[in-house]
Structure 1
Amino acid sequence: MRIAVIGTGYVGLVSGTCFSEFGHDVICIDKDAEKITSLNAGKVPIFEPGLQAMIEKNSRSGYLKFGTDLKTAVEDADAVFIAVGTPSRRGDGQADLTYVYAAAREIATALTGYTVVVTKSTVPVGTGREVERILRETSPEADFDVVSNPEFLREGAAIEDFMRPDRVIVGTTEKRAQEVMGEIYRPLSLFQTPLVITSLESSELTKYAGNAFLATKITFINEIADLCEKVGADVHDVARGIGLDRRIGAKFLHPGPGFGGSCFPKDTRALFQTSIEEGSPLRIVDTVIDINEKRKMEMAERVIDACGGSVSGKQIAVLGLTFKPDTDDMRESPSLDILPALVAGGAIIRAYDPEGMEEARNLLADVDFCNSSYATLEGADALVIITEWNEFRALDLTRVKSMMKSPVMVDLRNIYDPHDMALKGFTYRSIGRPN
């Protein structure tokens, strides 16, 4: 199949690359000429394990190309995937569809022959119908169908998620469009991946409902963790006990400083706004949003409390800045709330992240960025772990203690054992476990 992907952000770049790995002829289009030049030179703008190698492989084989000429790409395509950004709109939190609708208008002028136009971007219910209306209004004679095909990619594991997904959602009732989408995803039949055919509206809502449910699980276990601290229980025992129930499942039951990233915060806000507009408010989702925002600030208070009630003039070592490991994504990371709060309290911050430093420098002021984990520790009054990168899981604790002024560790990801830390002489604070 000949596929054009409009947009080379996270979703577009990963999707286009993986489609080329399936053996389809793919061209990824972007208006940013400098970005396209960099991609053609082998420079990938995001960190995602396995992506660089896959791009290089399929570019060499000719299956994957990058360009700025949308018209030619669309004219030659059997399917056109819209994968542009849908950031939160200022004021109400709804998804900003400016780029989606602009792409639809431009695609409409280039359609030749039957083409499937696919919304891959995360969009509110009703967007597909509006894209269809724009295409029809702009090019009344065009032969096309609009399909919703949401992505379910975890940053840090996107290649695996795309190549071996739990399911593929295809929103269309049109037989021709179903056949094209079935051919595009045919390589996944080897793994018997379910192809779920729905209406446009059901597909669009499935994406938001899925992310909102996962965000709710995270928020639920975070609140249970707080209760565990009050009653002397261990949240990991509780999570394992409920997670073994197949109706609940073990995933997304790990306590921490709150969810961040490009999906959960944005998508929960957009879903709630849609529910308000439709007169059916999702009160659970509204509560999840509120609790998660407050939790990030509460993490700063935990650090201050561990330091005796004040961080004024104290040096705090911070490990991990991105919202999760194996990505360089800083969007809505808990660190963006925690570090400024500590700085406001008079703390001196030294921080390190394996992949997020470049972006962090643009977002965090009054922070001394270091080039390694241990470089943050010299003379530190406390160590705070915000992101659970693998290299932070096996620190030489004897060395850590010898470098610090005070052996205080606030572990917001629970990667160390409280009993072991006590034996090693640390004042150790974690989430939802007895100190």
Structure 2
Amino acid sequence: MNVSIFGLGYVGLANTLLLAQNEHVKAYDIVKKKIDMLQEKKSPIEDKEIQKFLNRNDLNVDFTPNFIDSVKFSDYLIIATPTDYDEKKNYFNTSTVEEVIEKALAIRPDATFIIKSTVPVGYTEELKEKYGTDNIIFSPEFLREGRALYDNLHPSRIIVGECSERGQEIANMFLENAHDKDVPVLLTHSTEAEAIKLFSNTYLALRVAYFNELDTYAESRSLNSKQIIEGVGLDPRIGSHYNNPSFGYGGYCLPKDTKQLRANYEDVPSNIIGAIVEANTTRKDFIAEQILAKDPKVVGIYRLTMKANSDNFRYSSIQGVMKRLKAKGIEVVVFEPTLKGEEFFKSKVIKDFEEFKNISDVIVSNRFEPELQAVEEKVYTRDIFGRD
């Protein structure tokens, strides 16, 4: 099958390499530098499986800056462009998705689209009506940053928002390229598929917020948070996964998806969804207060990334903590090897780790790394289990 993919971030690039095992893939991105890197087999994002696949010579993939050729080439056009959350409109900014569809339909009116970008509930039906076509299908993506290709090779489930033979064909395409074959496949209506995506990510945010709030209570009462979490997790209905406290949920998906779901609840009675969003703000307030209580003159931020083996710090919770500290007049410095500039949010970026350790009165780290052991007495973290 011929497939074109538009947008080569985590979602698009992971799908490109997944499908290129057995399908013929054209992969397009508006950023020429990214295409150049991929043509040289260099990954623009930190993901070991992606880099491993790029080094292979048996994949059927063409990374191209040619939009028209990509549209004309394929049976299916997969859209994986960014849909950031617009705080003023309380809505995902879906303009990139619509731009691809409009430009593609002008070239090829019979084009069939699979949307992988996260969108509001009801969006696909609106697009079908707007563009007068039934050839728009939503298929949600479930992946972790830094493990994007792995999570496509070993998916938890495959969901396609169309109950039809075509929907089954799309599901089979993803399943046949996965390494795990015993994967649940669910065909739903498009709006239900959109809801599955948002409710899934909001539940994950709820779990993070819950264990963070447990940890806030334990730290406030001088209790052993690890013992409490371990005891709670022994209940098999709760489990011992995804329970390591942090400075708040962050990354590209959870903050925006929870806010979008809250916006979708505008005329629907609810309590929990809004509380999940608010809990993240409360947690960052608490973390900042705990750091301020140590009366530091200079606070060092060790890594802006949310997770180990990641180069992404979009919407990371540590940035919210930084803003709160700076608002109180605290000097904040940053150690982040992936940064190229000399400043980040008007905070000095220190490239030398020894200088960073010496200048910082308190070192704030969402996750504790071995190189911090020498200055462990300076480190403030809520990393209890030593995992993401």
TM-score over 0.5 for the alignment? yes
* 1:37 Cα deviation after fit: 2.7
Q: Deviations over 1:132-151 (max 9, x none)?
A: 234436xxxxxx63322111
Match of 2:378 in 1: 408
> How does 1:24-423 map onto structure 2 within 5 Å?
24-57=23-56, 60-61=57-58, 63-111=60-108, 116-136=112-132, 145-188=135-178, 190-276=180-266, 279-307=267-295, 311=296, 314-355=297-338, 357-358=339-340, 363-372=344-353, 374-388=354-368, 392-393=369-370, 395-397=372-374, 400=375, 407-414=377-384
- Counterpart residue type for residue 9 of structure 1: G
Match of 1:433 in 2: none
Q: What CA distance in whole angstroms lies between the structure 2 residues aligned with 1:178 and 1:133? A: 23
Contact 1:88 1:270 in 2 (8 A): yes
Q: What's the secondary structure of 2:243's corresponding residue? A: coil
Q: What CA distance in whole angstroms lies between the structure 2 residues aligned with 1:156 and 1:253? A: 19
Q: What CA distance in whole angstroms lies between the structure 2 residues aligned with 1:108 and 1:177? A: 21
Q: Percent identity?
A: 25
Contact 1:318 1:386 in 2 (8 A): no
Range 122-131 or range 70-79, more displaced: 70-79
Q: What's the secondary structure of 1:61's corresponding residue? A: coil
Q: What's the secondary structure of 2:358's corresponding residue? A: coil
* 1:161 Cα deviation after fit: 0.9
* 1:302 Cα deviation after fit: 1.0
Q: Deviations over 1:101-138 (max 9, x none)?
A: 1211122233376x54211000111121123234436x
Structure 1: 5+ residue runs without aligned partners? Answer: 138-143, 402-406, 417-435
Q: What CA distance in whole angstroms lies between the structure 2 residues aligned with 1:350 and 1:233? A: 31
Q: What CA distance in whole angstroms lies between the structure 2 residues aligned with 1:234 and 1:218? A: 18
Contact 2:117 2:140 in 1 (8 A): yes
Q: What CA distance in whole angstroms lies between the structure 2 residues aligned with 1:365 and 1:67? A: 37
Q: What's the secondary structure of 2:78's corresponding residue? A: strand
Contact 1:321 1:387 in 2 (8 A): no
Runs (4+) off by over 6 Å: none
Do the aligned partners of residues 414 and 200 (structure 1) sit closer, same or farther apart at CA in structure 2, a change above 3 Å counting? Answer: same
Q: What's the secondary structure of 2:102's corresponding residue? A: helix
Q: What CA distance in whole angstroms lies between the structure 2 residues aligned with 1:243 and 1:412? A: 17
Q: What CA distance in whole angstroms lies between the structure 2 residues aligned with 1:180 and 1:267? A: 25
Q: Deviations over 1:362-416 (max 9, x none)?
A: 64213232233x441125322222344xxx136443xx37xxxxx4331232368
Aligned length: 386
Q: What CA distance in whole angstroms lies between the structure 2 residues aligned with 1:47 and 1:275? A: 35
Do the aligned partners of residues 133 and 230 (structure 1) sit closer, same or farther apart at CA in structure 2, a change above 3 Å counting? Answer: same
Contact 2:3 2:25 in 1 (8 A): yes
Q: What CA distance in whole angstroms lies between the structure 2 residues aligned with 1:190 and 1:341? A: 44
* 1:298 Cα deviation after fit: 2.5
Do the aligned partners of residues 201 and 379 (structure 1) sit closer, same or farther apart at CA in structure 2, a change above 3 Å counting? Answer: closer
Q: What's the secondary structure of 2:310's corresponding residue? A: coil
Q: What CA distance in whole angstroms lies between the structure 1 residues aligned with 2:351 and 2:204? A: 34
The two structures have a TM-score, normalised by structure 1, of 0.81
Structure 2: 5+ residue runs without aligned partners? Answer: none
Q: What's the secondary structure of 2:137's corresponding residue? A: strand
Match of 2:13 in 1: 13
Q: What CA distance in whole angstroms lies between the structure 1 residues aligned with 2:360 and 2:344? A: 23
- Counterpart residue type for residue 299 of structure 1: I
Q: What CA distance in whole angstroms lies between the structure 1 residues aligned with 2:255 and 2:343? A: 21
Q: What CA distance in whole angstroms lies between the structure 1 residues aligned with 2:173 and 2:315? A: 37
Do the aligned partners of residues 74 and 219 (structure 1) sit closer, same or farther apart at CA in structure 2, a change above 3 Å counting? Answer: same
Q: What CA distance in whole angstroms lies between the structure 1 residues aligned with 2:263 and 2:188? A: 23
Do the aligned partners of residues 293 and 30 (structure 1) sit closer, same or farther apart at CA in structure 2, a change above 3 Å counting? Answer: same
Q: RMSD between aligned alpha carbons?
A: 2.4
Do the aligned partners of residues 127 and 273 (structure 1) sit closer, same or farther apart at CA in structure 2, a change above 3 Å counting? Answer: same
Do the aligned partners of residues 79 and 217 (structure 1) sit closer, same or farther apart at CA in structure 2, a change above 3 Å counting? Answer: same
Do the aligned partners of residues 219 and 249 (structure 1) sit closer, same or farther apart at CA in structure 2, a change above 3 Å counting? Answer: same
The two structures have a TM-score, normalised by structure 2, of 0.90
Q: Deviations over 1:252-279 (max 9, x none)?
A: 2221210111000000011111111xx2
- Counterpart residue type for residue 132 of structure 1: K
Do the aligned partners of residues 183 and 49 (structure 1) sit closer, same or farther apart at CA in structure 2, a change above 3 Å counting? Answer: closer
Contact 2:175 2:183 in 1 (8 A): no
Q: What's the secondary structure of 2:55's corresponding residue? A: helix
